[in-house]
A = this chain, B = another copy of it.
């Protein structure tokens, strides 16, 4: 029996997002000061860096302005362009649904892994997530350390506490915690992207946040957790947070523009595409200051 299993009923598919209630949303809305809305998403394109294990994004135009230049005409003067995308659901800035990973053949809340088949998952899919509206809290490790964290640097409990102390606020149930490690901005500054090495949470720090009642953990790296993994483990933070605590993970965030605003708390809104039975979704989360 795992930490969050059964906590919101045997049929629950939303996990820690249940920690957000009307009061959470109301108080988060009161954080709006300047009215600036900041996107936390990377642009999506075929040029995005992609890990070896996943195909890249493809963007196809079914109709475009070139067709009209080439002589096509439409009745009524109407001209249009239209397109199709092929994208791995875990590319760029995306949310991991609770059916994305597990161990011992059981998903979050004890659902059988055999629920996840070739036509998608019948439980815990991206369509069961719903809009996420809550307080966002930025833990800025780049500011804490004075530079982007180096690859392989584990963010442990001490660092989390130190970053929290910098904010001057205390975590509350339902918070969405966003971790700025600097990995993404180093990459976008031109360094080649290495998906096998990155700074990120260690298991102890992950569980600390989970026990504090966060509803969501996001980061500007590829996998929230430190890579490479501690010897003998594979994605141990994913295993514990997603499967045992029911916490969705939000990966590939762009956090430096938010950090530049200087605010540690803000209204956070993120709504995954409700793709039936999907293990994740591209997403464009918004911080409203």
Contacts and interface: CB of A to CB of B under 8 A. Distances in A.
A80 B243 CA distance: 11
A65 interface: yes
Nearest to A286: B131
Interface residues on A, range: 35 or more
Given A83-B88, A274-B44, A35 B56 contact: no
- Taking the full assembly, how many copies of this chain does it contain? 4
A78 B119 CA distance: 18
A158 interface: no
A240 to B, nearest CB: 11
Given A22-B35, A284-B273, A119 B44 contact: no
21 contacts: A22-B34, A22-B35, A22-B36, A29-B32, A44-B274, A59-B277, A60-B60, A60-B61, A60-B84, A61-B118, A61-B119, A66-B68, A66-B117, A78-B239, A80-B101, A81-B121, A82-B100, A85-B85, A269-B269, A269-B288, A272-B284
